Amino acid sequence: MREVAVIGIGMTKFGELWDKSFRDLVAEAGVKAIMDAGIEGKDIDAMYIGGMSSGGFVEQEHVAPLAIEVAGLEDFHIPATRVEGACASGGLAMRQGYIAVASGIHDIVLVGGAEKMTDVVGTEATNVLASAADREWEAFFGMTFPGLYALMARYHMHKYGTTQEQLASVAVKNHYNGSMNPNAQFNRKISIEDVLASPMVADPLYLLDCSPITDGAAAAILAPLDIAKKYTDKIVKILASTQASDTISLHNRKRFDALPAAIHAARQAYKMAGVEPKDIDVAEVHDCFTIAEIMAIEDLGFFEKGKGGKATEEGLTAIDGQIPINTSGGLKAKGHPVGATGVAQINEIVMQLRGEAGKRQVKDAEIGLTHNVGGSGGTAVVHILGVI
Amino acid sequence: MREVAVIGIGMTKFGELWDKSFRDLVAEAGVKAIMDAGIEGKDIDAMYIGGMSSGGFVEQEHVAPLAIEVAGLEDFHIPATRVEGACASGGLAMRQGYIAVASGIHDIVLVGGAEKMTDVVGTEATNVLASAADREWEAFFGMTFPGLYALMARYHMHKYGTTQEQLASVAVKNHYNGSMNPNAQFNRKISIEDVLASPMVADPLYLLDCSPITDGAAAAILAPLDIAKKYTDKIVKILASTQASDTISLHNRKRFDALPAAIHAARQAYKMAGVEPKDIDVAEVHDCFTIAEIMAIEDLGFFEKGKGGKATEEGLTAIDGQIPINTSGGLKAKGHPVGATGVAQINEIVMQLRGEAGKRQVKDAEIGLTHNVGGSGGTAVVHILGVI
């Protein structure tokens, strides 16, 4: 297997982008990544696009050739494939791209993720998102994603004494980080009191415990490490790319205080990269709800199981803390265009490792991790990146 | 790269399966393939599932962990990924599975495809299928898939003199073949007169020029050739696995009498396998409409461009003809559960190469080809299989 590098990144601003269509978002992120890498469109050998439900949100499937068309790459007839794993779709696109390059099948691979979520009305976004859960045995009976994560939050509070304020402290930190990210949907700082005063969505999750509905796209260019040097000096190496599965339904899961798929993917990733949790300098984790970040930093081994809430409350996951988590603002403040999120996480870690993260830069960041989850934990993808 | 074999196949009956849910179909095809290969569930290292729009048809995305759950494989946490390329989704799952095994990343890979299309009412199936076209510039203005292929048919008739009867002869042959396939949706023979007397769907395509709406699933087990022998003697080798893209829209395509992506994928496949069109003993091609089969047998190099209609009319593509095409009955008679089709094509070719195709067996079949298309040609996947 060849060593693989990320040689370019690009993303749109995340938010309610009324003036941009799905194809506009795809084009913008792709072009930015291509320009950042210093390659030309004709250099691209294959494309993987992560998308959760463009069918549900904008009635458009088959988005890989759509991306080919908006990029003007049709005459090269390169393989272009959409992958889907709900909110982990972007991470899956990264992993398929990694496999394609590492195996020697392709050299330059464009990896992308996109979702246009604000073109549906009323509760339709919630319904489309519920297609990431078990439709027949969960969603059909009224279960939603806030509901599923609320169950996990209640269990975590019951078992470990995690508090409402600890949950809220995740949102406060991520909004603070998001206030320094020009691409974030929300640039507004919030307080614990703001979270606890916001409307209850699914007890114990308030509105400000939940990530928003977002439009956005992100892209990255992958290349074999030896070829990478031909194009750019801004090279970040992929140290590990792993993926794990579990039941799609929460009720058939073996445990409720963790996502076993994430634990499994993380263990494999540390082994593949030859590092330990303490070696990670910065991480983007899947905080679709505040409880999800608390479980994530435990599942990833940064903190003992049950201690994630306390650690967050004590500031250990702040930018200047023991292990900075979601410097981008995370899904909570940067926004969560579901299919794009996994690739946007890669964008942030690459910026951190290049020292380009501006006000939210982590000092001396050399190894970074991304943790991308689909549904209530049916899919988990972990990447570890490092400076060369 | 390692040599890769298909060591097991399985599929459901195709048809309007009112008594079976999406998950029932996934489970049945997977279990059949596992039993055929003589492996156990715990032997599986990864899973790729092709599906076009389970979101649109049954409001279920994230189908890979659903497959993991119905198969009872959750404790192994293996990577499970859905891939989507409209009606080529099954072919894409095969290619991703091939890459995973050939590269050495995984050993035993389960590849599947599934679609449950008959749970929507009225014209909704047509609308969901139209999401494989360009929603903003084709479907939104009323264009449907019969309409898109009708344009190509009219052009082919104009340019090459292809006749209505020649189109109909594709349907007649495929229904004849389907009459010998117990898994086919239609087992009824039809005549040229039947086709021409059926309702017009989109001029010049009659109802019997069109493939049906179908429920069904198919699966295959892939393994490295050297490991394959440990499990089974029924080994079929993958000689080539290729994929190409083009514009999603028809109006931006460079030509209308062929699918350039299919031509490109086929050329690469012949090169990869070290064979020529004349070496192929049997082929399953993507006959979503009769004109599609005519273009396919030209694009694949079996007949000169423009001569596909005449060749079909003369019986050259019959089971005992020069190059037997769609011995299974094809999408036309076997049925077309869109995400399953690419894997079902692999099922038929493996049966032919094993000599297990019963009444529709092609004599001395040693090399077979599959040709799977997404949309109006935005995605094309070609596989060449051979006996060892």
Count of structural domains, chain A: 2
> Does any domain span residue B49?
yes
Of the given ranges (A116-125, B141-150, B152-161, B256-265), which has the lowest mean pLDDT? A116-125
In a domain, A67, yes or no: yes
Catalytic site residue A383? Answer: no
- Which positions ≥6 away from B362 have C-beta within 8 Å? B281, B282, B319, B324, B327, B352
First to last CA, chain B: 18
Domain identity same for B63 and B163 = no
Out of B53, B62, B127, the one facing A379 most closely (by C-beta) is B62
Asked whether the beta carbons of residue B249 and residue A80 sit closer than 8 angstroms, the reply is no
Beta carbons of B21 and A136 less than 8 Å apart: yes
A80/B82 Cβ within 8 A: no
Q: Are B116 and B54 in contact (CB under 8 A)?
A: yes
Same domain membership, residue A248 and residue A226: no
Rounded to an integer, what distance in angstroms lies between the CA atom of residue A81 and that of residue B99? 13
* A288 vs A370: CA distance, rounded Å: 14
Closest CA to A337 of A82, A148, A66, A128: A128
Distances (CA, A) of B51 to A91, B166, B287: 19, 32, 18
List CB contacts (< 8 A) between A132 and chain B: 61-62
**How many Å lie between the alpha carbon of B62 and the closest alpha carbon of chain A?**
5
Which residues of chain B lie closer than 8 angstroms to A23, CB-CB? 136
Residues A265, B104: C-beta atoms closer than 8 Å? no
Q: How many residues does chain A have?
A: 388
Q: Measure CB to CB from residue B247 to each of A68, A104, A242 and give the nearest one.
A: A68
- CA distances A324 to A7, B296, B304, Å, are 24, 55, 63
Of A182, A202, A236, the last residue of a domain is: A236
Q: Do A99 and B102 touch (CB under 8 A)?
A: no
A381 CA to chain B: closest CA distance, Å? 9
Please provide the DSSP assignment of A243-279 as one string.
EEE--SSSTT-S-SSS-HHHHHHHHHHHHHHT--GGG
Confidence of residue B128 (pLDDT cuts 50, 70, 90): very high
What is the model's pLDDT at position A383? Answer: 98
The encoded tokens of residue A76 equal 């090269």
Which of A1, A56, A378 is closest, CB to CB, to B65? A378
Report yes or no on B291 lying in a domain: yes
Report the CATH number that the domain containing residue B174 is assigned in CATH.
3.40.47.10
Taking the C-alpha atoms of residue A334 and residue A159, their distance in angstroms, rounded to an integer, is 30
B322 shares a domain with B290: yes
CA distance B323 to chain A (A): 27
How many residues does this entry show for chain B?
388
Give the separation between CA A152 and CA A150, rounded to whole angstroms. 5
| Domain shared by A85 and A168, yes or no | no
Query: Taking CB atoms and an 8 Å limit, are A65 and B133 in contact across chains?
Result: no
> What is the DSSP code string of A167-188?
HHHHHHHHHHHHTT-TT-S---
Q: Residue A73's closest chain B neighbor by CA? A: B246
pLDDT of residue A122: 83
CB-CB under 8 Å, B60 with A61: no
Where does residue B54 rank: exposed (0-12), middle (13-18), buried (19+ CB within 10 A)?
Answer: buried
Q: Among residues B87, B175, B264, B371, which one is catalytic? A: B87
Known catalytic residue: A87?
Answer: yes
- How far apart, in whole angstroms, are the C-alpha atoms of residue B299 and residue A352? 48
B99 and B27 together in one domain:
yes
Candidates A26, A52, A77: best to mutate against B (most CBs of B within 10 A) is: A77
Residue B47 three-state SS: strand
Among the listed residues A106, A336, A371, A383, the single catalytic one is A336
Using CA coordinates, name the residue in chain A closest to B72.
A247
Q: How confident is the model at residue B122 (pLDDT cuts 50, 70, 90)?
A: confident
Q: How far is A103 from chain B (nearest CA, A)?
A: 5
**Are B226 and B262 members of one domain?**
no
State the residue range of the domain holding B105: 4-122+214-236
Q: What tens digit of pLDDT does each residue of B215-256 get? A: 999 999 999 999 999 999 989 999 999 999 999 999 999 999
Single out the residue of A8, A26, A314, A17 nearest to residue A173, CA to CA. A314
Give the strand pairing for A236-245 and A379-387: antiparallel
| Long-range pairs for B303-307: beta carbons < 8 A, 24 or more residues apart | B305/B160, B305/B257, B305/B258, B306/B156, B306/B159, B306/B160, B306/B161, B306/B162, B306/B257, B307/B160
Contacts of B130 in chain A (CB under 8 A): 59
Report how far residue A267's alpha carbon sits from residue A244's, in angstroms, rounded to the nearest whole number: 10
The pLDDT confidence band at residue B366, using thresholds 50, 70 and 90, is very high
Cα dihedral A276/A279/A281/A284 (nearest 10): -10
DSSP string, A83-122: EEBTBTHHHHHHHHHHHHHHTTS-SSEEEEEEEE-TTS-T
CB B172 within 8 A of CB B318: no
Q: What is the DSSP letter of A131?
A: G
User: Are the C-beta atoms of B285 and B341 separated by less than 8 Å?
Assistant: no
In a domain, A30, yes or no: yes
Residue contact B248–A21, C-beta within 8 A: no
HSE on the CB side for A352, CA within 13 Å? Answer: 32
Residues A141, A207 share a domain: yes
Pairwise CA distance, residues A52 & A124, whole Å: 15
Measure CB to CB from residue B61 to each of A86, A249, A254 and give the nearest one.
Answer: A86
Q: How far apart are CA B69 and CA A132, in angstroms?
A: 14
Residue from B114, B93, B111, B119 nearest B51 by CA: B114
* Domain shared by A260 and A320, yes or no: yes
Q: Does residue B153 fall inside a structural domain?
A: yes
pLDDT, tens only, B86-107? 999 999 999 999 999 999 999 9
Give the pLDDT mean for B3-9.
Answer: 98
Contacts of B264 in chain A (CB under 8 A): 77
Tokens of A83: 């992958």
Distance from CA of A268 to the nearest CA of B (A): 11
Tell if the CB–CB gap between A82 and B83 is shorter than 8 Å: yes
Distance from CA of A5 to the nearest CA of B (A): 18
Are A74 and B252 in contact (CB < 8 Å)?
A: yes
B258-B311-B172 Cα angle (round to 5):
95
Residue B384 Cα, gap to closest chain A Cα (Å): 17
The ipTM, to two decimals, is: 0.97
CA distance B44 to A148: 29
**pLDDT averages per 10-residue partition of chain A, 388 residues:** 97 97 98 97 97 97 98 97 98 98 97 97 93 97 97 98 98 98 98 98 98 98 95 94 98 97 98 98 98 98 98 98 98 98 98 98 98 98 97
A13 within a domain of the structure (yes/no): yes
Please check whether residue A53 is in contact with residue B59, taking contact to mean a CB–CB distance below 8 angstroms: no
Give how far Cα B320 sits from Cα of A236, B202, B317, B361, Å.
57, 32, 8, 9
Closest C-alpha to A160, from A168, A169, A152: A152
DSSP 8-state code for residue B14: P
**In a shared domain, residues B163 and B297:** yes
The answer on A247 and A224 residing in a single domain is: no
Of residues B150, B83, B17, the one with CA closest to residue B342:
B83
Position B344 scores a pLDDT of 98
A111 in Cβ contact with A44 (< 8 Å) = no
Question: Cβ contact (<8 Å) for A61 and B77?
Answer: no
- Catalytic-labelled residue, pool B156, B336, B371, B383: B336
Distance CA A326, CA A316 (A): 12
The answer on pLDDT for B186 being more than 90 is yes
Q: Are A342 and A113 in contact (CB under 8 A)?
A: yes
Decide if B104 and A104 are in contact by the 8 Å CB cutoff.
Answer: no
Which candidate in A61, A124, A143, A252 is best for mutational testing of the B interface (most B CBs within 10 A)?
Answer: A61
Chain B hits for A375, CB-CB cut-off 8 Å, are 62, 65
Residues A90 and A137 in one domain: no
Residue among B78, B243, B247 whose CB faces A69 most closely: B247
User: CA B271 to CA B265: how far, in whole Å?
Assistant: 10
Let me know if residue B175 belongs to a domain: yes
Of A84, A99, A128, the CB nearest to B84: A84
Q: Identify whether A346 is part of a domain.
A: no
Any idea what the Cα angle at residue B56 is, between residues A139 and B68, rounded to 5°?
60
Q: Cβ of A81 and B64 within 8 Å?
A: no
pTM for the structure as a whole: 0.97
Residues B157 and B294 in one domain: yes
Residue A209: its pLDDT value, please?
98
Nearest residue of chain B to residue A75 (CA atoms): B246
Is A31 exposed, middle or buried (CB count within 10 Å of its CB: 0-12, 13-18, 19+)? Answer: middle
SS3 category, B110 = strand
Task: Indicate the pLDDT class of residue B287, thresholds 50, 70 and 90.
Answer: very high
pLDDT band at residue B120 under the 50/70/90 scheme? very high
